[in-house]
Amino acid sequence: MNLLRKVSREKEPGSSNDFLLSLIPYWPLFLVLIALSIAGGWLYLQMATPQYESHARILIKDEKKGVEEAKALEAFDMLSPKKSVDNELEVLKSKTLMNKVVAHLDLFAPIYEEGKFKDKLAYVSAPVRIVADSALGFRPTPDKVKINFASTGVTFNGKSYPLNQWVKTPYGNLKFIPNPRYAAYTGSNQGKKFYFYLVPQRKVVDNLASKLKVDAASKLSTIIDLSINDEVPERGEDILNNLIDAYNLSLVEQNNKLAANTIHFINDRLSTVQSELQAVEKKQEAFRANSGAIDLSAQGKLYLESVSTNDQKVGEMNMQLSVLNQIESYVKSRDMSKGLVPSTVGVNDPGLTQMIKTLYELQLEMESLKKTAGENNPLVLADKDKIEKIRPQILENILNQKRSLVASRGNLAATTGSYSSSLKTLPQTERALVDISREQSIKNGIYTFLLQKKEETALSFVSNNPGSQIIDRAESSEKPVSPKRNVVYLICVFLAGIIGLSVVISKESFGGKIMFQKDIEELTELPVIGEISKDRSKQQVVIGNRQRTLIAEQFRRLRTTLNYLGVGGQKKRILITSAISGEGKSFVSTNLAVSLALTGKKVVLLDFDLNKPTLSKKLNILEDKGISEYLNGEVTADEIIRKTGINDNLYFISSGALPDSPSELMLNGMAAELLNYLDQLFDYIIIDIAPVGPVSDAYIISPLSDATLYVVRHNYTPKTFVERIDENNRLNKLTNAAIVFNGVSQRGIGGKGYGYGYGYVYEDSNYHKRLSAG
């Protein structure tokens, strides 16, 4: 007995393997669930709209991350404001640019093609594109509008409209133009049905802006990656390409505005200086004609050259003061956006020039952000703060330069005064001519300087570029990025597995009933010596001489296992009980008795259940005097022993009339006398007694027995009763007890496997044999 228990404990199967093996009988369920899930996944893929990813790349000239190739153009691009990658990312994401893209591609008027499972966007397959009059606007359609195409026009709502003409429709002024993408379409529209919507432009812009992704390629580069997912790859490419074009056009317009402001200022100055120069030349011509002066003396020429040089410098200083005054007035003005930015032409301080340029760039950036993000945007407020900080620096710089210029002009005036005193010795005519020539030289120098700056600005205007370079035009993925077919099917299989596991676990683990042999092993120390499959024939006797069924073989194995309980020879009394009624103890008693009788041994089956006997009825034996009458001393043992008719070696003793107190009747000593008498007549005595749960009869008779078989039924016996076996056995010990696992149902779908037995190795010193229950 101890050896049997030890060996059975050592044969513990791995939990993971056991779990996987327990699922094998349910393979049809998993197969059906997987098939249904895959079918559902296929249906989802047919209904879902595939999304293709379009991707483009551009290069930005960043003032912080210089691009060596672009430095060669800096001499011709003096006016273009430098850009920051972080700012340009926000500009590219702006709804202002996306609004231009939607308007240019007419995305607010999508045309759809009706399909079997779902409708799809006919961006390529529709022969025409719908254009709305942006000035007058259009009315969104309340529902889809069916449209038919012809070579000369379109038809919807029962009316025909020509192509390439503005026409009045119930939805506003529309124009139907040939679709440029249709030329590359290789399919056929025969038998297809189309319809269109007119969607509010703002709604389309918001939708596309939410799908647009704009990111820097890396922290160290000035490359920007743009991507968008769309159901039509060609439409995604057009959106990105048009977005880049709109972005570059906005940069060119911004640079042109700055260059135009500078040229306008220089032209005004040139006009003024030219008038002054013409006046001086006429004055000189008139003086020479009136005075007859032709040449100057050598001394006069020397003085003239010196004075002329000084006067030219004074003129330049006066011009610089004029420019500084204009700049000072512009910076002090409260609203700098309404006027033209004054040019810094003639100002020799590069620091002031850079600060004015920075101020103007901040102003342009702030105005651009106001249009795209609103006045209260953090970026707009940040630019305002920068402008307010740079203003005092510019004014202080202007004040310092004005002081310096005034002091320098005073020094030159003093020098010129000394030259003038020397010229007093010259003839008055020559002196007057020198003054006129000096004034002419000054005006001519200023005029030449302005012409030079005008040419430089014009070069910047002509060489104006957007400051960005397209690295990759938009290209779309060949396969949809969403939904991914393999991922969808994998998820379907995974969900099918989860559902199948849930069904199996809920069916076999959450019922609170004994489902597996390992459940018994975990709850009690008693060994399981046999498994009996569920009998679907509903017959009481399932074993015979020629029966080779699974359940018959299982009873033969159980008969063999009795040897390891010590049954045989002088030990022949086997008590069979269970926890509750209905676990099949009478079925096990009957077939075990028949199995022993088939070996040629004389066997007697006792129905010792004096509370609810059933064997007489199941064996179709007339109920007559039996055990209760013998215990009362009314009959002898020979009078209650009768043949069964099942086998010549099998005899039966019925329970007899039900007594009022069965337990007390069993304790009168007559039960021991009966069993002792039967020992002399039979080789095996099978005692079927009441369950131990309701009554204590089994504990009374067990000491008179040589072995006790405790029947546990699959999916019937509550785990709590098995859990109490060891505790009850310590108080009222069942003699040489072992468990028979009865009614083991075929598991899974289709009933192809049992899988409840793990197999045990029973050993003695000379004999090795493996018994597998099922």
Is 586 within a domain? yes
Burial (0-12, 13-18, 19+ Cβ within 10 Å), 724: middle
Contacts of 10 (CB under 8 A, 6+ apart): none
Average pLDDT, stretch 478-496? 88
DSSP 668-695: TSHHHHHHHHHHHH-SEEEEE---TTT-
Is 766 within a domain? no
What span, in angstroms and rounded, lies between the C-alpha atoms of 774 and 772? 6
**Do residues 208 and 311 share a domain?**
no
User: Is a pLDDT exceeding 50 seen at residue 13?
Assistant: no
Is 133 within a domain? yes
Q: What SS3 class is residue 709?
A: strand
For residue 483, CA distances in Å to 50, 118, 284, 587, 609 come to: 6, 15, 87, 59, 68
Amino acid letter at 641?
I
DSSP 154-191: EEETTEEEESSSEEEETTEEEEEEE-TTGGG--S--TT
**Do residues 44 and 60 share a domain?**
no
pLDDT at 344: 65
Least Cα distance to 55 among 237, 281, 194, 188 occurs for 237
Which of 25-34, 323-332, 637-646 has the lowest average pLDDT?
323-332
Which of 53-57, 371-375, 638-642 has the lowest average pLDDT?
371-375
Which of 38-47, 239-248, 357-366, 539-548 has the lowest average pLDDT?
357-366
Which of 399-413, 576-590, 591-605, 661-675 has the lowest average pLDDT?
399-413
Is 430 within a domain? yes
Task: Label residue 57 by pLDDT band (50, 70, 90).
Answer: very high
Average pLDDT, stretch 681-695? 91
Average pLDDT, stretch 540-562? 87
pLDDT at 12: 44
pLDDT at 4: 46
Identify the top-confidence range among 117-121, 264-268, 410-414: 117-121
Higher pLDDT, 537 or 111: 111
Task: Label residue 427 by pLDDT band (50, 70, 90).
Answer: low
User: Is a pLDDT exceeding 50 seen at residue 87?
Assistant: yes
Is 752 within a domain? no
Task: Calculate the average pLDDT of the chain.
Answer: 80
Least Cα distance to 7 among 764, 773, 774, 766 occurs for 764
Which of 428-432, 450-454, 556-560, 607-611 has the lowest average pLDDT?
428-432
**Do residues 263 and 217 share a domain?**
no
Task: Label residue 424 by pLDDT band (50, 70, 90).
Answer: low
Q: Which residues pair with 230 in a beta bridge?
A: 52
Domain count for the chain, please give it: 4
**Do residues 151 and 221 share a domain?**
yes
Q: Tokens for 48?
A: 């879902």
pLDDT at 431: 65
**Do residues 290 and 383 share a domain?**
yes
User: Is a pLDDT exceeding 70 seen at residue 148?
Assistant: yes
Domain boundary among 225, 241, 257: 241
Task: Label residue 320 by pLDDT band (50, 70, 90).
Answer: confident
pLDDT at 757: 38
For residue 337, CA distances in Å to 91, 373, 395, 431, 747 come to: 20, 18, 18, 50, 85
Task: Label residue 16 by pLDDT band (50, 70, 90).
Answer: low
Task: Label residue 156 by pLDDT band (50, 70, 90).
Answer: very high
Is 6 within a domain? yes
Average pLDDT, stretch 671-679? 93
pLDDT at 210: 92
| Percent of all residues in the chain with a pLDDT value above 70, rounded to a whole number | 82
pLDDT at 6: 39
User: Is a pLDDT exceeding 60 seen at residue 31?
Assistant: yes
Which of 116-125, 317-326, 457-466, 712-721 has the lowest average pLDDT?
457-466
Least Cα distance to 584 among 686, 694, 713, 708 occurs for 713
What span, in angstroms and rounded, lies between the C-alpha atoms of 637 and 653? 9
Residue at token pair 């500078």:
262
Average pLDDT, stretch 394-421? 80
pLDDT at 709: 94
Is 210 within a domain? yes
Q: Tokens for 532?
A: 């009996």
Q: With contact defined as beta carbons under 8 Å apart, do 131 and 177 qualify?
A: yes
Number of Cβ within a 10 Å radius of residue 369: 23
What span, in angstroms and rounded, lies between the C-alpha atoms of 574 and 582? 20
Q: Tokens for 636?
A: 């002898």
**Do residues 194 and 319 share a domain?**
no
Average pLDDT, stretch 688-702? 89
- Could you report the per-residue pLDDT of 1-12, keeping only the tens digit for each? 444 443 444 444
Q: With contact defined as beta carbons under 8 Å apart, do 697 and 689 qualify?
A: yes
Task: Label residue 60 by pLDDT band (50, 70, 90).
Answer: confident
This prediction has a pTM of 0.53
User: Is a pLDDT exceeding 80 seen at residue 350?
Assistant: no
Average pLDDT, stretch 520-542? 87
Task: Label residue 688 by pLDDT band (50, 70, 90).
Answer: very high
What span, in angstroms and rounded, lies between the C-alpha atoms of 112 and 115? 9
Task: Label residue 297 by pLDDT band (50, 70, 90).
Answer: low
User: Is a pLDDT exceeding 80 seen at residue 279?
Assistant: yes
Q: With contact defined as beta carbons under 8 Å apart, do 437 and 284 qualify?
A: yes
Average pLDDT, stretch 96-115? 90
User: Is a pLDDT exceeding 60 seen at residue 579?
Assistant: yes
Amino acid letter at 718?
P
For residue 504, CA distances in Å to 499, 515, 548, 565 come to: 9, 12, 31, 36
What span, in angstroms and rounded, lies between the C-alpha atoms of 249 and 686? 103
Amino acid letter at 416?
T
pLDDT at 64: 53
User: Is a pLDDT exceeding 60 seen at residue 714?
Assistant: yes
**Do residues 492 and 455 share a domain?**
no
**Do residues 333 and 230 share a domain?**
no
User: Is a pLDDT exceeding 90 seen at residue 238?
Assistant: yes
Which of 123-132, 145-154, 256-265, 559-568 has the lowest average pLDDT?
256-265
User: Is a pLDDT exceeding 50 seen at residue 133?
Assistant: yes
Burial 246-273 (b: 16+ CB within 10 A, else e): bbbebbeebbeebbebbbebbeebbeeb
CATH number, residue 558: 3.40.50.300
pLDDT at 710: 94
User: Is a pLDDT exceeding 50 seen at residue 767?
Assistant: no
Q: Is the dihedral of CA 270, 275, 279, 282 positive or negative?
A: positive
What is the 8-class DSSP label of residue 138?
B
**Do residues 347 and 387 share a domain?**
yes
- Could you report the per-residue pLDDT of 365-379, keeping only the tens digit for each? 777 777 776 777 787
pLDDT at 68: 46
Q: With contact defined as beta carbons under 8 Å apart, do 566 and 736 qualify?
A: yes
Average pLDDT, stretch 689-708? 90
Radius of gyration of the chain (CA): 55
Amino acid letter at 668?
N
What span, in angstroms and rounded, lies between the C-alpha atoms of 89 and 91? 5
The helix (H) or strand (E) run that includes residue 371 is: helix 350-373
- Expressed as residue numbers, the domain containing 220 is 53-241
Q: With contact defined as beta carbons under 8 Å apart, do 476 and 52 qualify?
A: yes
Average pLDDT, stretch 269-273? 81
Residue at token pair 């192509």:
163
Average pLDDT, stretch 505-514? 69
**Do residues 63 and 135 share a domain?**
yes
pLDDT at 595: 92
For residue 221, CA distances in Å to 60, 214, 218, 225 come to: 9, 14, 6, 11
Q: With contact defined as beta carbons under 8 Å apart, do 707 and 736 qualify?
A: yes
Which of 314-318, 342-346, 748-752 has the lowest average pLDDT?
748-752
Is 764 within a domain? no
SS (H, E, C) 62-80: ECCCCCHHHHHHHHHCCCC
**Do residues 469 and 410 share a domain?**
yes
Q: Which residues pair with 742 in a beta bridge?
A: 713
pLDDT at 707: 94
Q: Which residues pair with 669 in a beta bridge?
A: none
**Do residues 100 and 213 share a domain?**
yes
Higher pLDDT, 754 or 282: 282
Q: Tokens for 264?
A: 């306008």
For residue 539, CA distances in Å to 460, 603, 609, 643, 676 come to: 108, 20, 20, 19, 32
Q: Tokens for 19?
A: 């779990």
> For 631, how many CA atoms within 13 A lie in the half-sphere containing its CB?
25
pLDDT at 712: 93
Which of 66-70, 79-83, 559-563 has the lowest average pLDDT?
66-70
> For 424, how many CA atoms within 13 A lie in the half-sphere containing its CB?
6
User: Is a pLDDT exceeding 70 seen at residue 426?
Assistant: no
Contacts of 274 (CB under 8 A, 6+ apart): 447
Average pLDDT, stretch 474-498? 88
Residues in the chain: 774
Residue at token pair 């060996």:
7
